[in-house]
Structure formats: C-alpha cells, structure tokens
C-alpha cells in the first residue's frame, strides 16, 4: 500500500465519519423534539403539575430544531417565575 492510497483512504474514512456524525446529530435532534411534542398529549392538569402550559409547549415547538426546546422552555419558566410573570 502506498502513502497516497493510505491518505486517500484516511480522507474517505474521515469524510464518512463526519457524515455519520452529522446524521446521528440530526437524528438526536429530531428524536428530542418529537419527545417534547408528545407533551401536547398530556392532560392540562399534568402539565400544570410540571409547571408548563400548552402555550409553553407550542412556543417551544416554534424554536429552531438546533435548540433544545425542553431546556429553553424550562429556563423561560424559571425566569418567568423569578420575575413574577
């Protein structure tokens, strides 16, 4: 095996690895958002018990997919409670 062949295989492997990593990341983001969206199936009282409203869930669903809606909504609710909103 020559050095050029080794370098070419190494580049090919790193490109495939990068693509696989991006696909895993995209899958994780979609799965996380789907889990967040399932909270819309919860009863009003259950949402109230965990400190959320349907409006919070809809607002979280409108966030870009790159943002973890659960974390952003939680932080927003904490800030709202802190400032009496």
- The pLDDT of residue 12 is above 90: no
- The pLDDT of residue 24 is above 70: yes
Q: Distance between CA atoms of 62 and 83, rounded to whole angstroms?
A: 23
Return the pLDDT at 83.
87
Mean local confidence (pLDDT), 42-51? 95
pTM as predicted: 0.71
| Count of alpha carbons within 13 angstroms of residue 82, beta-carbon side | 6
Return the pLDDT at 4.
56
Q: Where are the domains of the chain?
A: 3-82
Return the pLDDT at 6.
58
Return the pLDDT at 32.
95
């Amino acid at each position: 095996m020559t050095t050029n062949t080794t370098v070419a295989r190494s580049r090919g492997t790193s490109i495939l690895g990068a693509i696989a990593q991006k696909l895993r990341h995209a899958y994780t983001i979609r799965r996380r958002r789907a889990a967040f969206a399932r909270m819309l199936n919860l009863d009003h009282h259950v949402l109230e018990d965990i400190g959320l409203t349907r409006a919070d869930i809809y607002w979280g669903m409108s966030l870009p997919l790159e943002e973890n809606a659960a974390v952003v909504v939680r932080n927003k609710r904490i800030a709202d409670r802190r400032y009496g909103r």
